[in-house]
Amino acid sequence: MPFYLCHMSEESKYLQRGVSARKEDVHAAIRSLDKGLYPNAFCKIFPDYLGHEEAWCNLSHGDGTGTKSALAYIYWKETGDISVWRNLVVDNIVMNLDDLLCAGATNDFLYTSLINRNKQLIPGEVIRALIEGASAFFEEMKKWDLRIHYMGGETADLGDSVRTLTVDAGMTCRMKRSEVLEEKIQPGDLVLGLSSFGQTTYEQDYNSGIGSNGLTAARHDVLHHDYAAKYPESYNPLIEDSLVYAGHKKLEDPLIGTPLNTGQALLSPTRTYAPILLEALQLYRPKIHGLIHCTGGGQGKVLHFIEDLQVIKNNLFPVPPLFRMIQEESGTPASEMYRVFNMGHRMEIYTDEKTAAGITGIAARFGCEARIVGEVRAHQGKEVVLHTESGEIRYAQ
């Protein structure tokens, strides 16, 4: 029997924690807004307000680390490891950068940060670690000819409204209209997935694959209730007590199958695919019909960018150890796991067989596993079908 989209008990649990994997209310609120020059691009694209050239356009994006900062706070307090903040800011950058890459942008990104903190709990050394972490990431990306320019930002002390810390950012760039990548996914396309876990040549450590989505569910479903009493500032006191840190794991518990402990795995920085995508776009841009960053919405993300198509993913990556642990601790149905988390690959490239083979070779040189995870077929309506270890799952809109 297949799994279906709606699991009311699990959806209720997420809503009671104040989160939603699909952000239905947000999509409803922005439905009437101008869609920009290319409505089916992955990011909103505007006329060239910066350079005022007809052949160019501007891209803008905003995102943040979400509740991953609350988890970083607990880990820092428990271990004293200040480097956790240097890693956290990478999530903030990558969630913006890789979305812009999906629209075809490739360079000279302008980055502005917005940090809101409770100064009584978050000292200056944390702010310094965040800034140093951003600068270190930008320097690393220069090795692959990717230029991100740090434009400064704002650090606000909002102790009466921010419980610990929030880290958000905006990123913008300018590009030629002729290079814009619209999502033009079509029947016959193959789906090339780039793994979210392991260790690439441009990463310092093994990556669990977690990214920056589903962290509210992950930390509360996995971590032991002891953390609720020890760090009441790390969660919303209005949440029902039974839903707060309801798991069995301590931060230092090893994550079997990886070199990480549980805390490190939950805090793995979101992997960027920039070095791979820069080369892929340079060589194969006309052959790429779609780039989908599987963040909010997980394996159902592509539903926002297709019409009358069925995306069948029948060769998914093995489920990484962290997602197995989350599911075991929470009892979350597979249908919800694949809608909240990436479950093994966080970037999808829709293209032909020859191009997929070329990009697979590029990814291999960077130590990132790539595989053809599925295909696209004509279909009345739009649907994603997943063949998972737990059975078949269908998402439709």
What are the boundaries of each domain within the chain? 8-396
**Closest to 168 in 3D by CA, of 219, 93, 118:** 93
Share of the chain above pLDDT 70, in %: 92
Average confidence (pLDDT) over 158-173: 94
Q: Tell me the three state secondary structure of residue 139.
A: helix
Q: Does 24 have pLDDT greater than 80? A: no
Mean pLDDT of the chain: 92
Which residues are registered as beta bridge partners of 111?
Answer: 150, 171
- The answer to whether 397 touches 315, Cβ cutoff 8 Å, is no
Q: Tell me the three state secondary structure of residue 74.
A: helix
Q: Does 22 have pLDDT greater than 60? A: no
Kindly state the tokens that stand for 121.
């709990």
- State the pairing for strand pair 345-351/45-47: unpaired
Q: Tell me the three state secondary structure of residue 143.
A: coil
User: Which of the residue ranges 32-41, 46-55, 285-294 would you say has the lowest mean pLDDT?
Assistant: 32-41
278 band by pLDDT with thresholds 50, 70 and 90: very high
Average confidence (pLDDT) over 320-340: 95
What pLDDT score was predicted for residue 23?
A: 57
More confident position, 21 or 135: 135
Residues 6 or more apart whose CB falls under 8 angstroms from that of 238 comprise none
pTM above threshold 0.85: yes
Q: Does 6 have pLDDT greater than 50? A: no
Degrees (nearest 5) of the Cα angle 209, 101, 54?
165
**The CATH number fitting domain 8-396, selected from 3.40.50.10800, 3.30.565.10, 3.90.650.10, 3.50.50.60:** 3.90.650.10
**Closest to 35 in 3D by CA, of 175, 183, 169:** 183
Q: Does 385 have pLDDT greater than 70? A: yes
Average confidence (pLDDT) over 197-219: 94
